Amino acid sequence: MVEAYLRQSPLSQLALPSRAAEETGDAGVLMAERPFRRIVNLRGDPKSEAFQNAAKSVLGAELPLTPNSTTSPNTAAASKDASLLWLGPDEWWAISEDETPPLADKLRDALTGQHAAVTDVGEGYSCIAVSGPNAIDTLAKGCTLDFHDSVFAPGSCAQSDMAKAAVVFRRLEDETPSFEIYVRSSFAEYLWRWIEDAAGEYGVAVSA
Amino acid sequence: MLEINCPYCGPRFETEFSYGGEAHIERPKDSENLSDEEWGDYVFMNSNTKGVFLERWVHTSGCRRWFNVARDTVTYEVLAVYETGSKPPKLDLRKDV
């Protein structure tokens, strides 16, 4: 992990905090960067009870087994503040804020001796938050997924491509359509500029 | 464009997938005793079926899992999707190809 005082977000050169508007007016799309999320990639056999129990003991919630679904700290009976994303039949992301000891270490301790893998991948990603009444229209321009409520309801997640960059989408459980797009740091500026351009016709504001 | 029903993630567009060629090609068990011709046959000689073809795909932009697809190479219709390691399902084959 990078020393905290050396850390720069992948979009720091865009000076987003200075653009953050207090009044977003009638902007159709709000954008923000959510950098420095702790992301742990967890792999293991969901049929193994020992694996499930060990993961639950650290994460505070059951691993989601339904494809493209999430367990967020706001909705599930979770004591810890980690959100769990289904990525594949034996692969999950646990997303949390910084904590000590790191989530990855706790998971690794709990899973000692099991056929499982814990990888800290957070430093390689940034998160772009896109929300607002026209958020779905904007995302639809760059991705083949159907983001309609009936298909990609709040609490859904999916791995796909956005403007040809590999991303993880997550729809938050908010009333206005709110998405988080996790993208590799080296693609973050490209994707930000692409989305901002695509959302131009709806009016874009940078939110804090 | 094809819409392929990933057995893990659900229906997604073809752009998310990569192609892996013919499915169910068995690697020769005693590969060290094969002649060059036999090895070349295993590595390079795939069938070029007109009609229902069993092939491998990987969901590159999604769950990154490999799986098998039964696809009609004439109509491009995806007839079935099934997991790697399982036998192909019984299909109603078209009679006019």
Write down the pLDDT at residue A74: 41
Domain B3-26+47-83: give its CATH code: 3.30.2270.10
- How many C-beta atoms surround the C-beta of residue B23 within 10 A? 18
Three-state secondary structure string covering chain A: CCCHHHCCCCCHHHCHHHHCCCCCCCCCEEEEECCCCEEEEEEECCCCHHHHHHHHHHHCCCCCCCCCEEECCCCCCCCCCCEEEEEECCEEEEEECCCCCCHHHHHHHHCCCCCEEEEECHHHEEEEEEECCCHHHHHHCCCCCCCCCCCCCCCEEEEEEECCEEEEEEECCCCCCEEEEEEEHHHHHHHHHHHHHHCHHHCEEECC
Write down the pLDDT at residue A76: 39
Closest by alpha carbon to A129, among A176, A70, A73? A176
* C-alpha span between A141 and A131 (Å, rounded): 15
C-alpha distance from A160 to closest chain B C-alpha (Å): 5
- Is residue A148 less than 8 Å (CB to CB) from chain B? no
Write down the pLDDT at residue A11: 95
Chain A environment of B63 (Cβ under 8 Å): 87-89, 91, 159
Residues of chain A below pLDDT 50: 74-79
Better-scored residue on pLDDT, B92 or B34: B34
Chain A interface disruption, residue of B3, B63, B81, B84, most A CBs within 10 A: B63
The helix (run of H) or strand (run of E) holding residue B3 is strand B3-6
Q: Do A67 and B9 touch (CB under 8 A)?
A: yes
**Extents of the domains making up chain B:** 3-26+47-83
Chain B environment of A88 (Cβ under 8 Å): 8-9, 62-65
Cis, peptide link before residue A64, omega less than 30° from 0: no
How many contacts (CB atoms, under 8 Å) link A and B?
35
> Who's near A80: CB < 8 A, 6+ residues apart?
A58, A59, A60, A61, A73, A96
pLDDT tier at B4, thresholds 50, 70, 90: very high
Write down the pLDDT at residue A194: 98
Which token pair is A142?
């760059």
Write down the pLDDT at residue A137: 97
Q: How would DSSP label each residue in B51-96?
A: SEEEEEEE-TTTT--EEEEEEETTT--EEEEEETTSPPPP----S-
Write down the pLDDT at residue A78: 43
- pLDDT tens per residue, range B75-88: 999 999 999 999 99
Chain B environment of A158 (Cβ under 8 Å): 9, 62
- Strand pairing class (A29-33; A204-206): parallel
Q: Are A122 and A35 in contact (CB under 8 A)?
A: no
Tell me which residue in A88, A144, A159 faces B13 most closely, judged by beta carbons. Answer: A144
pLDDT tier at B95, thresholds 50, 70, 90: low
- pLDDT tens per residue, range B16-49: 999 999 999 999 999 899 999 999 999 999 999 9
Domains of chain A, first to last? 12-36+123-202 (3.30.1360.120), 38-122 (3.30.70.1520)
Write down the pLDDT at residue A60: 82
- Is residue A163 less than 8 Å (CB to CB) from chain B? no
The mean predicted confidence, pLDDT, of chain B is 91
- The predicted complex's ipTM stands at 0.86
* C-alpha span between A172 and A160 (Å, rounded): 17
Q: Do A159 and B9 touch (CB under 8 A)?
A: yes
Chain A environment of B2 (Cβ under 8 Å): none
**Packing angle between helix A49-59 and helix A103-110, nearest 10 degrees?**
150
Share of chain B above pLDDT 70, in %: 95
